[in-house]
């Protein structure tokens, strides 16, 4: 059996990973692709936003990647092999969408440390997306962003439609200083060549040694602002104070109250509100509503209608020092009750 190539798509929270994966999946290709979606936080939303057919999406949710990722990942890869056997067809390719706070190292190491994974899979490339609008801020404040850039085989600049050429210039300078080995490509959503993402065979384990140099160069990172914890096999850090708050309810939400509430959170927490996304049931609306945003940039759209499924709203906020109790309490005011319906 030929080894299945694996492309790791990483990038900081909200850098555009799901958007790009959806665009790649929409292209006319002759391949069967499995997508592994890994999310930060106890409730997953992304697996519902990826357009692949359900049996080809494998979801992994874990709060802290460094604690659980490796065994989770090998389990998921194992189940992909099982599905292939059951269906007597092999996946041609696997995409792993990491969380926006993932350090790609442990993901890659998983493939090297487990012999049976080496037998069946080969890492094609680590593709890192960098948001051209928020990238410099993220590099300066979040070590996860630096790790992802330093680990990239190729860097893709996203959201260029909103960034000016000066911002792009300075960002490129920074990216080259963090990772002089990776090619930097501009991501054009209207023209995304499949073969620039896949089958590139850019991954070279030898490049991993450059990682530490890049991390040392990133002197703007405030080291006192991170906490470190050792696990038996690797050393990992998350920027201190990043939390994920998950909200869910099976009662409909009041559209106006909800909108006001989210807008207020966005105004209040601003750059500390790193990412928020949810699939919501609004009162009186037969369709699912997708709400999402990165810092101040908020977006919502009407998705497909609810069918015979459990109608549940799920909403996740990821940010720095967010007051969980207060957010959970104020969310309740957006849930419809008899009084509000009147």
Ligand X SMILES: Nc1nc2c(ncn2[C@@H]2O[C@H](COP(=O)(O)OP(=O)(O)OP(=O)(O)O)[C@@H](O)[C@H]2O)c(=O)[nH]1
Per-residue x/- track, 24-43, ligand X (CB under 6 A): --------------------
Q: Which residues pair with 186 in a beta bridge?
A: 157
Distance CA(247)–CA(167), nearest Å, equals 35
Angle between helices 165-178 and 210-217 in degrees, nearest 10: 130
Distance CA(278)–CA(316), nearest Å, equals 6
Nearest distance, CB of residue 15 and ligand X, angstroms? 4
Per-residue x/- track, 141-160, ligand X (CB under 6 A): -----------------xx-
Q: Which residues pair with 33 in a beta bridge?
A: 93
Among positions 122-141, residues that touch ligand X (CB under 6 A) are none
Alpha helical stretches, state H, the chain: 17-25, 46-49, 65-87, 104-113, 115-120, 135-141, 143-150, 165-178, 194-197, 210-217, 255-269, 324-332, 338-341
User: Which residue lies nearer to ligand X by CB, 19 or 84?
Assistant: 19
Q: Is 175 in the site for ligand X (CB under 6 A)?
A: no
Q: Is 110 in the site for ligand X (CB under 6 A)?
A: no
Following DSSP, what letter does each residue of 182-227 receive, concatenated? SEEEE--TT---HHHHSS-----GGGGGHHHHHHHH-TTS-GGGEE
Q: Is 225 in the site for ligand X (CB under 6 A)?
A: no
Nearest distance, CB of residue 153 and ligand X, angstroms? 18
Q: Is 46 in the site for ligand X (CB under 6 A)?
A: yes
Q: Is 288 in the site for ligand X (CB under 6 A)?
A: no
Q: How many residues sit close enough to ligand X to count as binding (CB under 6 A)? A: 19
Among positions 299-328, residues that touch ligand X (CB under 6 A) are 299
Nearest distance, CB of residue 256 and ligand X, angstroms? 22
- Residues lying near ligand X in the complex (CB under 6 A) are found at 11, 13-19, 46, 100, 158-159, 161-162, 189, 275, 292, 294, 299
């Amino acid at each position: 059996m030929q080894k299945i190539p694996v492309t790791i798509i990483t990038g900081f929270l909200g850098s555009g990973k799901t958007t790009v994966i959806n665009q790649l999946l929409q292209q006319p290709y002759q391949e069967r692709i499995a997508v592994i979606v890994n999310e930060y936080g106890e409730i997953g939303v992304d697996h519902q936003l990826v357009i692949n057919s359900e049996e080809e999406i494998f979801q992994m949710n874990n709060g802290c990647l460094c604690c659980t990722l490796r065994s989770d990942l090998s389990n998921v890869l194992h189940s992909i092999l099982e599905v292939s056997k059951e269906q007597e067809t092999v996946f041609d390719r696997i995409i792993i969408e990491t969380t926006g706070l993932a350090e790609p190292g442990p993901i890659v190491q998983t493939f090297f440390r487990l012999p049976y994974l080496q037998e069946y899979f080969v890492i094609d490339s680590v593709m890192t997306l960098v948001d051209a609008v928020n990238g410099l801020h993220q590099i300066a404040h979040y070590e996860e962003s630096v790790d992802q850039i330093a680990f990239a085989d190729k860097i893709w600049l996203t959201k260029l439609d909103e960034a000016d050429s000066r911002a792009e210039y300075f960002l490129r300078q920074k990216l080259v200083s963090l990772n002089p080995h990776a090619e930097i490509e501009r991501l054009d959503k209207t023209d995304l060549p499949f073969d620039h993402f896949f089958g590139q065979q850019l991954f070279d384990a030898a490049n991993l040694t450059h990682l530490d140099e890049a991390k040392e160069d990133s002197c703007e990172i405030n080291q006192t602002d991170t906490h470190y914890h050792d696990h038996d096999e690797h050393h990992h850090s998350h920027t201190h104070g990043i939390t994920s708050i998950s909200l869910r309810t099976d009662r409909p939400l009041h559209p106006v109250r909800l909108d006001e509430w989210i807008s207020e959170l966005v105004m209040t927490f601003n750059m500390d509100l790193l990412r928020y996304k949810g699939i919501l049931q609004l009162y009186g609306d037969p369709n699912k509503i997708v709400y999402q945003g990165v810092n101040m940039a908020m977006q919502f759209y009407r998705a497909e209608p609810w069918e015979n499924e459990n109608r549940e709203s799920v909403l996740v906020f990821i940010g720095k020092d967010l007051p969980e109790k207060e957010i959970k309490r104020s969310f309740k005011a957006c849930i419809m009750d008899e009084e509000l319906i009147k």
